[in-house]
Amino acid sequence: MIAAAAALSSCGGGASSGHAPPPNVAVVVPDGVLRELGEPCAGGEPYLYAHATAAFRIEDAGGKTVLRGELPEGKAIAALNHDPGVPRVPTFCRFELHADLATSARYRLVLPEGDPVPLAFKDGKATAVIG
């Protein structure tokens, strides 16, 4: 994948002005569209099942569900490691979730379709890369 390392390193959210902590789990999926960064997005084919309101759950290594819900609206992030100097660029779609996960444990993301995806931790934040 193009810029998989960039997708992993860009999983964090900024400081939150509300009471909820900033997102600490990112779900990153190819969307196959040229977009402006930050635009709403969803997974592209064959990942159309990754979209806002899609049911998800996060399981621990034993298969116990530790979080379930619906994916929020996704936001387009750059798929390239450089700025091509144009307004619309190839993107991935990133969904940001709030979860209280121990960074020393193993987890996986389960969506209605596709295989379960392991979460990788970096700097206290987790990322699941689909595709």
Find the domain containing 84 and state its range: 4-14+25-129
**Is 21's pLDDT higher than 90?**
no
**Could you give the number of structural domains in the chain?**
1
Sheet architecture: strand order including 55-60: 65-70, 55-60, 107-110, 117-118
Report residue 19's pLDDT band, with 50, 70 and 90 as the boundaries.
low
pTM of the model: 0.80
**Is 15's pLDDT higher than 50?**
no
Whether residue 122 is contained in a domain is answered as: yes
Whether residue 54 is contained in a domain is answered as: yes
Whether residue 19 is contained in a domain is answered as: no
Whether residue 20 is contained in a domain is answered as: no
Report residue 88's pLDDT band, with 50, 70 and 90 as the boundaries.
confident
